[in-house]
Amino acid sequence: MNRYILNSAVVTSPGDYRYTLLTVEEAREWLQRGPYQSTVTYEETAQLASAMLGATITPKRITVRMKPGDEALVVRISLPEGSPRIRLEEKGRLGERLRCHKIELGVLVRKE
């Protein structure tokens, strides 16, 4: 089983998935259960997740293909419904505005 940290809840390969929201404490417990690989793309998101979760999360731009049994901790910016998407040129450069948005934590599991 592989464990990842993602900055969005994406379907990385065909299959059945379950996505469950987590509290900050539950996310910290997930991190403590074993090794994981960060695939968080943006430095600011990694810094915010590190501070929030009390762990070192480094940015790394890699593609993963989740296999049955794999799971991922998702740390993503949750914009209010109907709000405009973050412009591509602003991603990773939001600075203080990033802290104004709600951060959603969840676990994405690819079922067996």
Q: How far apart are CA 110 and CA 54, in angstroms?
A: 26
Segments in the chain forming alpha helices (H)? 24-32, 43-53
- Average pLDDT in the 36-53 region? 88
Write out the residue range of the structural domain in which residue 95 sits: 3-110
Specify the higher pLDDT residue, 38 or 99.
Answer: 38
Q: What is the pLDDT of residue 43?
A: 84
CATH classification of the domain holding 55: 3.40.50.11170
The structural domain count of the chain equals 1
Q: How far apart are CA 69 and CA 77, in angstroms?
A: 25
Checking if the pLDDT of 60 tops 60, the result is yes
Q: What's the pTM? A: 0.81
Q: How far apart are CA 95 and CA 51, in angstroms?
A: 14
pLDDT digits (tens, 9 = 90+) for 4-26: 999 888 887 899 999 999 999 99
